[in-house]
Structure 1
């Protein structure tokens, strides 16, 4: 079958790879219909995760049609239209039983790498390096989905393929941030980042009853999209002082909840960015963290900060004194999608959540390298390049 593979730092190719096979009784084989790029893929592309191997198939945000089921699968049949959580979880271990699915004990077949890095192994994620299991990704004609009864979800009638696609990763990641941060009715919530995940975190906060929600970014088209499709307010950090603006919005206190949805390759409009960039390029730190520092300073005393952007290892100049003395609660996680995807699909079906607008650049899998270049360099206002397979149309949507 045809697939988009990683062949080295900033080297992608469309190649023929072996078709996936059923390996365990809980597996399904999916014919991929839509597969999106994701901001965290750029860390793989740039070589920041050292556990990639040439020939690895990329892609972890996807939906498609079931074409084969393992003998132990109970919830899915051939022909079902499903969306799949990017993180793979067994559903049975202690962490899955406590709905912390991305921390699954049984899905990652290479636990030693993250045990060494973090003190404990993480769960597996499709196509997110051999540190997270080495599973083949979704930028391909077909994909094997392990633990399908836990991680694949039937798409309701009336929900288009394009809308359901982002219930795979962007939306549940946003929900993980807003729920994990403890958003309460009446809160003021600031979200750093207005990409797909930042927009979804903002929408989740609104649906959880937040009084005011603001997205912070530097791309006017993304901020306009957040205002129009999400209902959040916008701050362009190149045009104003973010902390002052947030204090102004909150009677001098600062936001109740801050969500950092940018991650390890963040940008800033000041000299600190050059410091961070130079240290990252010379391997003196692994991650750039300007928005994270800014969020600590901006958050109100006793407030909540959730780290939703992907960080790999170490950051420099973290304001621990501010975090401790201000009494902040700081949490973070990869997405626990199995907890949130059913309600996200319900929100989409009810017209309370718009997601299909995130697919700004649909294209064929053959255009994969171009799609990643447009996404990485934000060409033509690209929020998400999405690869359409199987002569795709959204025939199920009406």
Structure 2
């Protein structure tokens, strides 16, 4: 089969790889019909996440048709059309029984390695470093889905791939962040980052009844997309985030804040920017936490911070005193995808939400290596890339 394969920093290749096979009775093999490049894939592209090895297949937003099923898998059959959640979960451990699928205790086959990094293991993830199991990803013609009797979402027949694909990650990730905010009718919700996850969080906050949603980003095309959903927009390159947030909240600050950026955030404050870039380049910190710092300082006392952006390691100069003394609640974590599936499918079915709005580029899988830098640089107003295995490259 053909797949997108990681070979190092900014080196993704379209290569022939062995076809996946059934390895366990709970497995399924799917023929991929659509997959996508996620913002967190760029952390791999830049080699900021530890645990990648040359030859790893990348990608964790995937859907397709079941073509083979293990003997122990009674939930799926050949011909079923499914979305594959990026989190692999067993359905049997203590965490899965509580709905905490992204911290499944059994699905990470490199659990000892994860314990060294995080203190305890987290769930296995598709295409996302050997810290999370080293599972081949879904930017490929075929994908083996372990624990597939639980790790799947059956797609309604009348849904297009474009409506269903983002149930794998960015839609439930944005939704979970908004749910974590415990939004009340008079709340102002500020969202840092108007990329794909931020766009989903914006629409989720609106659907959950926020009085005012504010989107913060540098890119005009992203801000235009956010404004189309009813968000007030702030461009940090053109105005002070602090001053504008205070103006919009009678100097109280937003009630709830969402970080939809993660470990590669950029600061307009030159000393802070240089400090983080220097420490990161010297491996004295792994992540650039500008957005976390700003949220802790900007949020109204008693408010909630929800972190949907991915962080990988060690941060520096976090104003924890502001977090503690202002009584802020901080909620974080990879997404418990299947916890939110039913209500999100209902919203799509009712027409309240169509996730396909975020797609700006659809390309053959073979064009994936050139679409990574396009997505990374936001060239051609690129916000979200969907890849189609089987389509011929132009």
Report if aligned partners of 2:174, 2:199 keep a CA contact under 8 Å in 1. Answer: yes
Q: Distance in 1 between matches of 2:342 and 2:370?
A: 33
Deviations for 1:122-179, whole angstroms, at most 9, x for unmatched residues? 1111000111001001111000111222221111133211121111100111122112
Structure 2 residue 380 is matched with structure 1 residue 367:
no
Q: Distance in 1 between matches of 2:332 and 2:183?
A: 14
**1:246 paired residue number:** 245
Report if aligned partners of 1:191, 1:216 keep a CA contact under 8 Å in 2. Answer: yes
**1:297 paired residue number:** 297
Structure 2 residue 2 is matched with structure 1 residue 5:
no
**2:257 paired residue number:** 258
**How many residues get paired?**
391
Secondary structure at the counterpart of residue 314 of structure 1:
coil
Q: Distance in 2 between matches of 1:43 and 1:199?
A: 19
Q: Distance in 1 between matches of 2:89 and 2:183?
A: 26
Q: Distance in 1 between matches of 2:283 and 2:153?
A: 40
Greater shift in the superposed pair: 71-80 or 377-386: 71-80
The two structures, once aligned, show a CA RMSD in angstroms of 1.3
Q: Distance in 1 between matches of 2:105 and 2:351?
A: 36
**2:309 paired residue number:** 309
Report if aligned partners of 1:168, 1:341 keep a CA contact under 8 Å in 2. Answer: no
**1:320 paired residue number:** 320
Deviations for 1:232-254, whole angstroms, at most 9, x for unmatched residues? 22111111111221122122211
**1:44 paired residue number:** 44
Q: 4+ runs of 1 displaced by more than 6 Å? A: none
Secondary structure at the counterpart of residue 176 of structure 2:
helix
**1:24 paired residue number:** 24
What is the deviation of 1:345?
Answer: 1.8
Report if aligned partners of 2:366, 2:389 keep a CA contact under 8 Å in 1. Answer: no
**1:347 paired residue number:** 347
Report if aligned partners of 1:302, 1:329 keep a CA contact under 8 Å in 2. Answer: yes
Deviations for 1:201-252, whole angstroms, at most 9, x for unmatched residues? 1211222211111111000001111222x33221111111112211221222
Secondary structure at the counterpart of residue 149 of structure 1:
coil
Secondary structure at the counterpart of residue 198 of structure 1:
helix
Q: Distance in 1 between matches of 2:159 and 2:183?
A: 27
Q: Distance in 2 between matches of 1:25 and 1:178?
A: 37
**1:111 paired residue number:** 111
Secondary structure at the counterpart of residue 83 of structure 1:
strand
**2:266 paired residue number:** 267
Matches within 5 A, 1:86-125: 86-125=86-125
TM-score with structure 2 length normalisation? 0.97
Gaps of 5+ in 1: 393-398
**1:83 paired residue number:** 83
Report if aligned partners of 2:174, 2:201 keep a CA contact under 8 Å in 1. Answer: yes
Greater shift in the superposed pair: 265-274 or 284-293: 265-274
**1:395 paired residue number:** none
**2:187 paired residue number:** 187
Q: Distance in 2 between matches of 1:234 and 1:348?
A: 25
**2:377 paired residue number:** 377
Report if aligned partners of 1:153, 1:342 keep a CA contact under 8 Å in 2. Answer: no
**2:147 paired residue number:** 147
What is the deviation of 1:387?
Answer: 0.9
Q: Distance in 1 between matches of 2:63 and 2:109?
A: 23
